[in-house]
Amino acid sequence: MNAPHTHLPRHLLTLHDLERGTLDALLVRAQAFAEGHYDRRALDGIAVCTLFFEPSTRTRMSFTLAAQRLGADVINFDASTSSTRKGETALDTLKNLEAMGVRGFVVRHHEDGAVAGLSAHVNDGTVLVNAGDGRSAHPTQGLLDMLTLRQAKGADFSKLKVLVVGDVKHSRVARSDLQALRALGTDDIRVCGPASLLPDDGTLQGCNVSHDLDAALEGVDAVMMLRLQRERMEEGLIASLDDYHRAYGLTASRLKRAAGDAVVMHPGPINRGVEITDEVADGPQSLILRQVSNGVAVRMAVLEALLRG
Ligand code: CP
């Protein structure tokens, strides 16, 4: 099976500016991978490094599996046991790994724009994938979320009513999801959260913004819950976790306001009992673990497109 022509840029830093055709091609390819159709030697002889300066479970492990399934040599850089501890910069680290022959870098960093900054200094033939930078972007999470929605609701996003709930202000997932939903033509994109956790930087352009979760849930086809990003949050943005849960937690009774076949998503890790109850997270409408499965397939599609395309 040949890789599709996806018009991806050299590095995948953001979903901003990606055209619908490119997204569709990646999602179709990822769907084939999800169904087990792939060449285990597609990335034979290519070295890929997961270069993470922030913690991760899902993204890092699924990129590792994705690269391994396509036959790449995979190394995982652990900042906590590396020369980062002696003060080595992210760029020096990357350049040293590049000197060892690594061609693909999957990079997570706490600073906005850090991965784009690194991409300006790499050799011809080296490619970077942004695995989450600060609050800015998490493009492969956006893609896996779109694949999950596509499987559940079909390829036509135009009639979907999608609600994004919670801490959009600190969420790179929300930014990538909103960019992807717009690019795929979703007409009714709703965003709900406390005013203190909604950004005023243009992220919510074109969205129906509300602070009333019960009203926002009416008739939606998909509810995308966000994690409260307490590690990026200044003090005082929410009164307490209990108050937040009362106003913005997704419970089984609240979910009844959505369409009967509505699906529930969450990028993980979940703050159980805060943004979502166990009953909903583990319930029949939850696609949370499907999202995780799709992460492997989407990351295979991205690595293939960048490293072989
Ligand atoms: N969704 C997500 O990025 O999870 P991790 O932080 O565990 O990678």
Percentage above 90 pLDDT, the chain: 93
In a shared domain, residues 28 and 155: no
Q: Give the number of domains in the chain.
A: 2
In a shared domain, residues 300 and 257: no
In a shared domain, residues 86 and 198: no
Q: Does ligand 1 come within 6 angstroms of the Cβ of 268?
A: yes
> Is residue 67 assigned to a domain?
yes
In a shared domain, residues 191 and 251: yes
Bridge pairing between strands 102-109 and 73-78: unpaired
Angle between helices 288-308 and 20-34 (to 10 degrees): 110
> Is residue 13 assigned to a domain?
no
What's the 267 CA to ligand 1 centre distance in angstroms?
A: 7
Q: Does ligand 1 come within 6 angstroms of the Cβ of 267?
A: yes
* pLDDT score at 236: 72
Q: Give long-range contacts, CB 8 A cutoff, 24+ apart: 77-82.
A: 77/49, 77/50, 77/51, 77/52, 78/52, 79/52, 79/53
In a shared domain, residues 265 and 168: yes
Query: At residue 204, what are phi and psi to the nearest 5 degrees?
Result: -95, 15
Query: At residue 231, what are phi and psi to the nearest 5 degrees?
Result: -70, -20
Tens digits of residue pLDDT in 161-206: 999 999 999 999 999 999 999 999 999 999 999 999 999 999 999 9
CA 180 to chain centre: 10
In a shared domain, residues 185 and 244: yes
Tens digits of residue pLDDT in 69-99: 999 999 999 999 999 999 999 999 999 999 9
> Is residue 274 assigned to a domain?
yes
Q: Which is nearest to 198 in space by CA: 187, 209, 188?
A: 209
As given in the structure block, the two tokens for residue 105 are: 């870098």
**Arithmetic mean of pLDDT, 285-301:** 98
**Ligand 1 atom at minimal distance to the Cα of residue 108:** 8
> Is residue 256 assigned to a domain?
yes
Rounded distance between C-alpha atoms, residue 238 and residue 211, angstroms: 13
As given in the structure block, the two tokens for residue 97 are: 């790994």
> Is residue 15 assigned to a domain?
no
Mutate to test the pocket of ligand 1, among 59, 115, 143 (most ligand atoms within 8 A of CB): 59
Q: Terminus-to-terminus CA distance in the chain, angstroms? A: 13
Q: Does ligand 1 come within 6 angstroms of the Cβ of 56?
A: yes
**Ligand 1 atom at minimal distance to the Cα of residue 60:** 8
Rounded distance between C-alpha atoms, residue 123 and residue 219, angstroms: 50
> Is residue 42 assigned to a domain?
yes
In a shared domain, residues 110 and 155: no
Whether the CB-CB separation of 277 and 305 falls below 8 Å is answered with no
Q: Does ligand 1 come within 6 angstroms of the Cβ of 68?
A: no
The residue nearest atom 5 of ligand 1, judged by CA position, is: 56
Host domain of residue 153: 139-287
Q: Does ligand 1 come within 6 angstroms of the Cβ of 141?
A: yes
Whether the CB-CB separation of 305 and 8 falls below 8 Å is answered with yes
Q: Which is nearest to 261 in space by CA: 286, 294, 288?
A: 286
Q: Which residues pair with 49 in a beta bridge?
A: 75, 105
CATH of the domain at 46: 3.40.50.1370
Whether the CB-CB separation of 105 and 49 falls below 8 Å is answered with yes
**What is the pLDDT of the chain when averaged over all its residues?**
96
In a shared domain, residues 157 and 120: no
Tens digits of residue pLDDT in 101-148: 999 999 999 999 999 999 999 999 999 999 999 999 999 999 999 999
> Is residue 3 assigned to a domain?
no
